[in-house]
Structure 1
Amino acid sequence: MTDAPIEEVPVRTLNPSRVEAFSDGVMAIAITLLVIEIRLPETEGDLLKQLLGLWPSYLAYLGSFATIGVIWLTHHAFFARIRQVSGPLQAGNLLVLLCVAFLPFPTTVLAHHLEDGGWNAGVATAFYFLTAAVQAGAWIVMWMAVRRDPTLLKPGYSPDVARTETRQAIIGFVALAAIAVLGLFVPIAALAIYLIAVVGYALPAMAWPRRARAV
Structure 2
Amino acid sequence: MRVRRSDPLSTGREVDRLMAFSDGVVAVAITLMVLPLINIEGPVGGAPLYTVVTKNLGQLVIFLFTFYVVAVMWRVHSRIFSQIRGYDNPLFWLNTTWLAAIVLLPWFSSLYGDTFAKSGSFTDFSTSATPDIALFYWVLMASVSALGTLMGRHLSRNPRLLLPESEAAYLSGAARYRGWIIAGYFLFIGVMSLFSPIIASYLPIGIFVLSVFLKPKQTPAEVQSRAVTDSNGETP
Within a 5 Å distance, the mapping from 1:24-173 to structure 2 comes to 24-38=23-37, 39-41=39-41, 44-45=44-45, 46-48=47-49, 49-115=51-117, 116=119, 117-118=125-126, 120=129, 122-159=131-168, 161=170, 167-173=177-183
1:183 aligns with 2:193: yes
Structure 1: runs of 5 or more not aligned: 1-7
Structure with the higher fraction of residues in helix conformation? 1
State the superposition RMSD in angstroms.
Answer: 3.4
1:11 to 3, 8, 11: 8
- Mean CA deviation greater in 92-101 or 111-120: 111-120
In structure 2, how many angstroms separate the alpha carbons of the residues matched to 1:133 and 1:32? 21
Deviation at 1:169, TM superposition (A): 2.4
* TM-score after normalising by structure 2: 0.72
Structure 2: runs of 5 or more not aligned: 120-124, 227-236
- Mean CA deviation greater in 125-134 or 84-93: 125-134
Q: Deviations over 1:118-137 (max 9, x none)?
A: 56253333222111011122
* TM-score after normalising by structure 1: 0.78
In structure 2, how many angstroms separate the alpha carbons of the residues matched to 1:121 and 1:149? 43
Instruction: Give the percent of matched residue pairs that are identical in Structure 1 and Structure 2.
Output: 21
Within a 5 Å distance, the mapping from 1:174-213 to structure 2 comes to 174-184=184-194, 185=196, 186-194=199-207, 196-197=209-210, 200=212, 210=222
Deviation at 1:71, TM superposition (A): 1.5
Cα distance change of structure 1 residues 193 and 159 upon mapping to structure 2, 3 Å threshold: closer
Deviation at 1:47, TM superposition (A): 4.7
In structure 2, give the amino acid aligned to 1:193: G
Cα distance change of structure 1 residues 159 and 212 upon mapping to structure 2, 3 Å threshold: farther
Deviation at 1:101, TM superposition (A): 0.7
